Structure 1
Amino acid sequence: MFKTIIVDDEKWTREVIKQFGRWEQYGIEIIGEAGDGEEGLQLIEKLSPDIVITDMKMPGMDGMELLQTLTERFPHIQLIVASGYNDFIYMRQAIHSKVNEYLLKPIHEDELNLALEKCTKEIKSQQDSYTYQPFSFANHNLSLLIREYKKTVTSFLQEANVLGFESAHQRFYEELKKIEGIDRNALFKIHQEFILILEEQMLKNNYNVNDIFEKNKSLYDRLETSLERMIEQHQTLGKYFIEYMLHMNKRKNRVDLGEIKEYIERNFTDSHISLEVLANKFFVSKEYLSKAFKNKYGCNITEYIISHRMEHARKLLISNELQIKSIAQMVGYEDVSYFYRVFKKYFKLSPGEMRSN
């Protein structure tokens, strides 16, 4: 059995995670839970879990500090973040800590279980493959070269400069060939640094990370055994990213109502989603978006969001024993009294009456 610990200062979130997880299916046992990072770290030191699920914003030692500590002291632990904050600073720390998944609250059952499945597969893969040691380069020149390489490559990626990107990679390759001691651990370090650069650029630009990495899985999930092949691998991935970025920039000038509709269906539980937020995200005026959406789908955007929230809330009320306050938060309502009013107006029944019936 794989062992897991849940760290979150909200008890109801811990309860949701415990109810939603398909623990027996994935061979996972919950061995402890904690209300803050310090308590969580003590449990981790005592119980040696395989998986840790943690919030980011907590009193005392928060999730960022906990992730940093776990990365340094327990690099083998698989990490899942469950946070109510879609914040780049938190995401950047998650990337540096090689978090398996960054789940936004309210937690979705399917997303949680996909993350758990991914963790168990990673643990099994590590058990069957080469184990990399922590990276501590005695060669000062190599460390400096990697640092300068990251700055240069990041600049060319941000500018979508293909020629500059290719030239920087070639210069980096030529300099690396002059350094002795480029072993497999060094190659792994360079590869991981490049993947982190791409991930950070995707998050900064609000792109879907899967659009790059899932479509190019064979390019990033294997470690090349030669320096030359690894540089070629990075050039291919980098050029694909630049092409993707140029394509996305062109699309900013076009309104795709189907894409907006799909975005709502994926994110209707976000408490901040609104006509104004969508208009800003898709670079269109609120007035035009509202009119065009209603003409095509027969309802305005607010009505479409409410209908998805209400239907999801109805399913949650019927299928489990979660508190109504928790369900309200899970479908995007921080004010439970407002949730009651919207629910009763939509169904002509209160949440309690719906559950009783």
Structure 2
Amino acid sequence: MYKICIADDEKYVQKSIAQRIESSGMEIEVAGTAGNGMEALLLYEKMRPDIFFVDINMPVINGLDFIERIRRQYPEAHTRFIIISGYDDFAYMKKAIQLGVINYIKKPILQQEFSDMLWDVFRQLEEDKEKEDKKEENICSWTDFLHADGQKKPEGTFLLIRGKKIGGNAAEILREIEMADRGMHCTAIRFFGVQDILLLLMEGKYCTGRELEMLAGKDCFTGASQIVYHMGKCGNPEELAGQFEDMLNIRFYHPEYRLMKLKSMPCERPAVSYEAFDAALDCTREDKYTECLEEILKPLFEEEKYCGLIKQVYQALILIIANKYTKYDIQLPGELRQELFPFASAVCESRREMLGLLGDYSLQLNRKIEKIVSRSELVDKVIQYLVQHYREDINLSELAGEFFVVPTYLAKKFKEKKNCTVMQYLENIRLKKARELLDTSSLSISEISQMTGYNDPNYFARSFKKVYEISPREYRNSIGAEHE
């Protein structure tokens, strides 16, 4: 069932066209109507119709401007636009032709003219649908390909193609290859939910790199930026796909899988922060430094333009781990010392192996640190943090997060060493600072309250009196009396 939308500021015109469509007997339905150009835009975005009747003289946005916006925003859309107008105007007609409008209906709309035009458009839609169906014959899903592999072991040249929305361009690629080489039979395999890669199988055909470059030169891979290819039998499609992914995402050399660039990819330096990983190593939090490694490496594997920097980042992470050994005066293990040499990461064959190696090195380091560093240092670091940040809104949960420990652990260790809670210690810092300001400044009580971390001056006054047995105002007055 094809969808039609109607945009006209005259209700009777909308109704007239809708009635004629419904009585036509074709597999066409009216999906919505609009009374002005802005409503038409919203309707188009919602329905994406196959046919759109558009009045030229609509309020807010006129019909031709509306079509121009749609053509600009959705260049790949196949909607057929039909103009409705009460005037014969050459300028309008000329612009309508430039915008790809397929027909121009003048008001009042004659029944026979409308019926003939509608049947023409319907036949065009049916012909295009038939063409698309034929294109799709040689396109299957990854799931279907795996199922077919259970019946036979495909053989030939396998290509994993990367490019923006290349999956949706499969039919066009197959057509281009067929035109370039009439004897070549190809199957395209799409991946569910992934638009930027496409697997292509040239069954029974062993293509050399030169032949593939010739096909690329004939624009047979429209929109492709890179191709990984492999010739031979496919005993395990999932393993094949995994090797292709490694080649695209990691760039580790594998002699059986070749990488061909069709477009130059800029190599930029991403904004990589190592501070959280460095802190997690100090705090011996395995879950935290594992999470940090994932956060650092993930964009490098996902963003094609960063792939050339993977080894540099790997080397930087190795240096951070090695520096911890120096900091704690621990002897550097032999295998980690070897990692400091250039290109050591070449031993990794996958992203998983790289993360595994870094995780193992971090775990070995943490176990050694735990043996020589007492966790009591945590309390000293927390106190230092409180002294520096007492003006801020601090709670136990967020404070524990700063040091990668759980709140209950922090509370227990702090109580053991200082014989008070963390929040009691913070309040003492704030009140001492408040008393200093009362002694040395002319700031108001409210200003001092804000400067020492108390958002509520009344709560500040109660806390001050509870500790010093005198209100802030009484304390300031007593200081003034002493100086007189």
Q: TM-score, normalised by structure 2?
A: 0.27
Indicate the structure whose relative CO is greater, using CA pairs within 8 Å and at least 6 residues apart.
Answer: 1
Select the structure that is richer in strand. 2
Q: TM-score, normalised by structure 1?
A: 0.36
Select the structure that is richer in helix. 1
